[in-house]
Amino acid sequence: MDFHDTPEEAAFRAELRAWLSEHWAGRPLEGGRGDFDALRRWGGELYEAGYVGLTWPSEYGGRGLSPTYQAIYLEEMSRANAPGHPGVIGLNMAGPTIIAWGTPEQKKRYLRPLLDGSEIWCQGFSEPGSGSDLASGRTSAVLDGDHWVVNGQKVWSSYAHKADFCILVVRTDPSAAKHAGLSYLIVDMHAPGVTVRPLVQITGDPEFNEIFFDDVRVPRSSILGSPGDGWKVAMTTLLHERGTLGFALSAELERMVNQLIKLVKEPGPDGRRPADDPVIRDAVAREWIEMQSLRFTNYRSLTTLLETGIPGPEGSGVKLAWSEANQRLTSLAQSLFGLTGLVSDEAPWNGFWQYWQLRSRGNTIEAGTSEILRNIIAERVLGLPKGR
């Protein structure tokens, strides 16, 4: 792959860099997820400027650009230390699935407010007791006239407490083989019978949630595909999630590495810079090298995507490496100032590193546990025999 920008890509990068310099530079660096309403307004700014849905077809509100432009967008956002669009599940999962499987009416209704951030989406796949086995889900939907009546529970649903809609996998035919008995619905999160119970993490944020469905009536027209197509539709969703995940994660790691470099150059309470210690410089260099290795792995994956239209297997390896690198990096940053870094009112950067070190503990669980990812890499990339 040619790692240099084409003239058109270089112009896009310069345009985006200038826009971020005008609209984001100088905003304060904060720990936590901040004001979600402010993030939603920021998503609207990104949309109005033309930086949301870059690879979507123009007829659906996108710009119809190559995935390379999405990679440039993520790189420049990380370098500007700017947050992304808050509707990440809608943009990367629900939207592409609606484009692939939705009716004209569904596309008209859902895609525009998904892009501009006025409506937020969540994902209803995982269930208690099902682990990573999506096909073993038991949340049911029974047809009653013009409505599906949904009952069951989902868990680990990011942003469900803020979401307006949910992409939901349900069992509509209990007599069919488990993969064949699933269907895929769009559910209004404000409908009667939907209850969201936030799961407060060690950071204090209710980022993940449980969702309970008690006789929730969902219009029959809210199905994507046909009854029994749920597994195929869900694979479309997961394919798009993996297709964009690698660059998003490496961009996030680059942002954190840049912040770590900034941190080690700052004097501590004793007046000494952590960067003056050669052991710390070696540790920081390791994280920089890890970040670069992820970037080039993603470029290899991007080459496969451009040639075949299908993401390669590198996404699983990138997610595994990123999760462990981010835990290591945030732990290193947290340790630089000893016990001072553990005390909220004295911690560097107003608790920024304290927050992200705690948040990183979930990295090896979310979006596929490290154990599951190692199995995927062993079996589907290296061709090793299954462990069971």
Task: Reply yes or no on whether the pLDDT at 201 is more than 90.
Answer: no
Specify whether 151 is located in the same domain as 205.
yes
Residue 116 domain flag? no
Number of C-beta neighbours around residue 180 at 10 A: 13
Read off the pLDDT of residues 171-195 as tens digits, 9 standing for 90 and up. Answer: 999 999 888 999 999 999 999 999 9
Tell me what percent of the residues of the chain surpass a pLDDT of 90: 55
Residue 106 domain flag? no
What is the pLDDT confidence band of residue 343, given thresholds at 50, 70 and 90? low
Q: What's the CA gap between 90 and 92, in Å, rounded?
A: 6
Task: Reply yes or no on whether the pLDDT at 221 is more than 80.
Answer: yes
What is the pLDDT confidence band of residue 147, given thresholds at 50, 70 and 90? very high
What is the pLDDT confidence band of residue 203, given thresholds at 50, 70 and 90? confident
Instruction: State the alpha helices, DSSP H only, in the chain.
Output: 7-23, 36-48, 67-79, 88-89, 95-101, 104-115, 230-264, 278-308, 314-335, 352-359, 370-376
Report the pLDDT value the prediction gives residue 333, as an integer from 0 to 100: 92
Number of C-beta neighbours around residue 102 at 10 A: 22
Q: Span 246-250, mean pLDDT?
A: 81
What is the pLDDT confidence band of residue 387, given thresholds at 50, 70 and 90? low
Q: Span 4-18, mean pLDDT?
A: 94
Q: Which residues pair with 167 in a beta bridge?
A: 123, 186
Largest pairwise CA distance in the chain = 73
Specify whether 44 is located in the same domain as 127.
no
Specify whether 370 is located in the same domain as 239.
yes
Q: Span 70-80, mean pLDDT?
A: 89
Residue 93 domain flag? no
Active site residue 241: yes
Report the pLDDT value the prediction gives residue 1, as an integer from 0 to 100: 58
Task: Reply yes or no on whether the pLDDT at 128 is more than 80.
Answer: yes
Tell me how many degrees the CA angle 168-54-160 measures, rounded to the nearest 5.
Answer: 25
pLDDT averaged over every residue in the chain: 88
Task: Reply yes or no on whether the pLDDT at 276 is more than 90.
Answer: yes
Give the least confident one: 27-41, 160-174, 257-271.
Answer: 27-41
CATH label of the domain that carries residue 20: 1.10.540.10
Q: Which of 228, 263, 283 is the last residue of a domain?
A: 228
Task: Reply yes or no on whether the pLDDT at 70 is more than 70.
Answer: yes
Residue 332 domain flag? yes
Report the pLDDT value the prediction gives residue 190, as an integer from 0 to 100: 98
Q: What's the CA gap between 255 and 258, in Å, rounded?
A: 5
List the domain range (segments joined by +) for residue 166.
Answer: 121-228
Report the pLDDT value the prediction gives residue 33, as an integer from 0 to 100: 57
Closest CA to 143 of 193, 195, 218, 213: 218
Report the pLDDT value the prediction gives residue 248, as an integer from 0 to 100: 82
What is the pLDDT confidence band of residue 263, given thresholds at 50, 70 and 90? very high
Specify whether 366 is located in the same domain as 238.
yes
Q: Distance between alpha carbon 332 and the CA centroid of its chain, in Å? A: 24
Stated pTM of the model: 0.87
Report the pLDDT value the prediction gives residue 311, as an integer from 0 to 100: 65
Specify whether 151 is located in the same domain as 64.
no
Q: Which of 228, 255, 276 is the last residue of a domain?
A: 228
Task: Reply yes or no on whether the pLDDT at 288 is more than 70.
Answer: yes
Report the pLDDT value the prediction gives residue 22, as an integer from 0 to 100: 92
CATH label of the domain that carries residue 194: 2.40.110.10
Q: What's the CA gap between 129 and 117, in Å, rounded?
A: 33
Task: Reply yes or no on whether the pLDDT at 364 is more than 80.
Answer: yes
Report the pLDDT value the prediction gives residue 207, as an integer from 0 to 100: 83
Q: Which of 241, 254, 287, 290 is catalytic?
A: 241
Q: Span 241-265, mean pLDDT?
A: 85
170 and 148 in contact (C-beta within 8 Å)? yes
Specify whether 376 is located in the same domain as 267.
yes
CATH label of the domain that carries residue 370: 1.20.140.10
Residue 337 domain flag? yes
Q: Span 204-226, mean pLDDT?
A: 95
Q: Which of 209, 228, 247 is the last residue of a domain?
A: 228
Specify whether 252 is located in the same domain as 219.
no
Number of C-beta neighbours around residue 83 at 10 A: 18
Specify whether 65 is located in the same domain as 149.
no
Specify whether 246 is located in the same domain as 342.
yes
Specify whether 223 is located in the same domain as 303.
no
Q: Span 302-326, mean pLDDT?
A: 79
Residue 387 domain flag? no
Residue 47 domain flag? yes
Specify whether 341 is located in the same domain as 244.
yes
Report the pLDDT value the prediction gives residue 122, as an integer from 0 to 100: 96
What is the pLDDT confidence band of residue 340, given thresholds at 50, 70 and 90? low
Closest CA to 353 of 369, 372, 329: 329
Q: What length is written for the chain? A: 388
- For 171, the token pair is 């069992």
Report the pLDDT value the prediction gives residue 186, as an integer from 0 to 100: 98
Residue 386 domain flag? no
Question: Into how many domains does the chain fold?
Answer: 3
Report the pLDDT value the prediction gives residue 312, as an integer from 0 to 100: 64
Specify whether 69 is located in the same domain as 142.
no
